[in-house]
Amino acid sequence: MLERYKYIFNIALEAVFLNKFRSMLTALGIIFGVAAVITMMAIGNGAKKEILEQMKLVGVNNILIVPKSEKPKSNASAGGDQNTQSTDQNQEKNKGKYSPGLSLKDALAIKEIIPTVSKVSPEVIYETDIVKGGVKTSAKFTGVTPDFFNVFALELQEGQMFNEEQLKEGKAVCIIGPVIKSKFFPTESAIGKDIKCGPIWLRVIGVLKKREVSQSSIDNLGISDYNNSVYGPIQTLLRRFKDRSMITSASLHGGVTYSGEYNTMYMNESSSSDKGSNQIDKIVVQVKESSQIGATVDILKKMMLRRHAGVEDVEIRVPELLLKQEQRTKDIFNIVLGAIASISLLVGGIGIMNIMLASVMERIKEIGIRQAIGATKRDIVLQFLMEATLLSLTGGLIGIILGLALSKIIMELTDILTIVSPISVIISFGVSASVGIIFGYMPSQRAAAQDPVESLRHE
């Protein structure tokens, strides 16, 4: 019996190779269908991983409070016009009112008053020059509290966190990212060494572990490049570096400014980090439970409005909800693309059926001869079914190779993360085999139904 099946398989294989060009054209639908399904699923898996990584970056159950921009980002589109209109309305509403801006006192009040809040992380961010031993680089100099490292799950590679004394007294200490460490201390430990951030010298007490952060995450989520930043106690920045809430004659007229109790001198330059009278750049509020986010946002809006004298000068965002919405949108998009790609498999199956039906009509005399020398109807069915299955399996294998190649090319050329999962390859190959069997069944039945006598007379 095994020899019989092997003989039928050899006949089917010979028929496929005798018509190589036609066989290749027949398999094209399967090839492109399988390749499209694998590529689309790879893009979807990559998008899902990026979203999960971004959720880790923004933290769990976090609410972001940032000052509202006084000017719209773009006026070049209808969206820009809407932003302009919204900004004008806010400015008209806030006219004649004074707000002290986002401050450290707001962060302390949130932590003390709202019971659903577990951690509050205020941040002051400046772009400045980092100097050490003749080496100079530009990096973010950020004032934080220990809650910052807990909220974003940042761990130390070596050293220690800020202690209470360093935080309260604004000691000249810092924790650096791994990129800063590699630039200034490539062959030695950074702990206990001094680096200069702008005009002030800080002693390194810790180095963060490296964390992968894409540029798109930095731009879209407003997060810091943890690897290329210097972190100091927030009081250190406000007292020694710069406190935007302090008004002096020099700050009003420009030029040299003396800031804080240490009277540290620095040049009062106009930069994007100078956000009006806002003492701090953002407050990250971590809520205890996800179910409490909505209620906490409502309380924060009312609280900020009351503390800022009725001026709507802050924006409250929930990054996790935005990312989940983005994930849902991408899932729908990937389902649509996957469905479109699957249609190619269906079209490929129909193509196989059409070619096999045409092949039956061309080979009626061959079928009659095989039946005359002893081939049963089952043998004829198996022969044509094997031919259809061989075409679809060959197309499936080529499609898998093409899909893997396309996924790699897309990632290299467009910087879109693609992840090919084994399940997508198995599903695609299984579907291609099923297509050959399903769409090859009708032609094989028609071939077996031929009358041997009429087949032998056929010209």
In degrees, rounded to 5, the angle at the alpha carbon of residue 77 between the alpha carbons of residues 73 and 83 is: 45
Q: Which is more confident, 363 or 152?
A: 152
In degrees, rounded to 5, the angle at the alpha carbon of residue 234 between the alpha carbons of residues 318 and 238 is: 120
Spatial separation of the C-alpha atoms in residues 299 and 114, rounded to whole Å? 8
Neighbours of 133 (CB within 10 A): 11
The answer on pLDDT for 64 being more than 80 is yes
Write down the pLDDT at residue 268: 38
Percent of the chain that is helix, strand, coil (3-state, to 5): 60, 15, 25
SS3 label, residue 225:
coil
- Which contiguous run of DSSP H or E holds residue 264? strand 264-268
Q: In degrees rounded to 5, what are phi and psi of residue 163?
A: -100, 175
Confidence category of residue 252, pLDDT binned at 50, 70, 90? low
Spatial separation of the C-alpha atoms in residues 355 and 327, rounded to whole Å? 42
Model confidence, pTM: 0.57
- State the DSSP code for 100: -
Spatial separation of the C-alpha atoms in residues 391 and 444, rounded to whole Å? 14
Write down the pLDDT at residue 114: 92
Strand partners, 123: 282
Spatial separation of the C-alpha atoms in residues 61 and 286, rounded to whole Å? 6
- Which contiguous run of DSSP H or E holds residue 106? helix 104-113
Give the model confidence (pLDDT) of 292-319 as tens digits: 888 998 999 999 999 888 888 888 888 7
Task: Say if residues 232 and 202 touch (Cβ distance below 8 Å).
Answer: yes
Q: Which of 137-146, 221-230, 318-327, 357-366 has the lowest mean pLDDT?
A: 318-327
Spatial separation of the C-alpha atoms in residues 284 and 153, rounded to whole Å? 13
Residue 354: alpha-carbon gap to chain centroid: 43
SS3 label, residue 136:
strand
The answer on pLDDT for 136 being more than 60 is yes
* Average pLDDT score over residue span 79-92: 50
Give the model confidence (pLDDT) of 194-238 as tens digits: 999 988 999 999 999 987 766 555 555 556 678 889 999 999 998
Q: Return mean pLDDT, the chain.
A: 77
SS3 label, residue 399:
helix
Q: What is the dihedral of CA 427, 428, 434, 439, to 10 degrees?
A: 150
Q: In degrees rounded to 5, what are phi and psi of residue 285?
A: -110, 120
Spatial separation of the C-alpha atoms in residues 199 and 341, rounded to whole Å? 59
- Cβ contacts of 458 within 8 Å, gap of 6 or more: 364, 365, 368
Give the model confidence (pLDDT) of 103-124 as tens digits: 889 999 999 999 999 999 999 9
Strand partners, 430: none
Task: Say if residues 207 and 230 touch (Cβ distance below 8 Å).
Answer: no
Write down the pLDDT at residue 256: 42
Spatial separation of the C-alpha atoms in residues 156 and 386, rounded to whole Å? 61
Write down the pLDDT at residue 74: 42
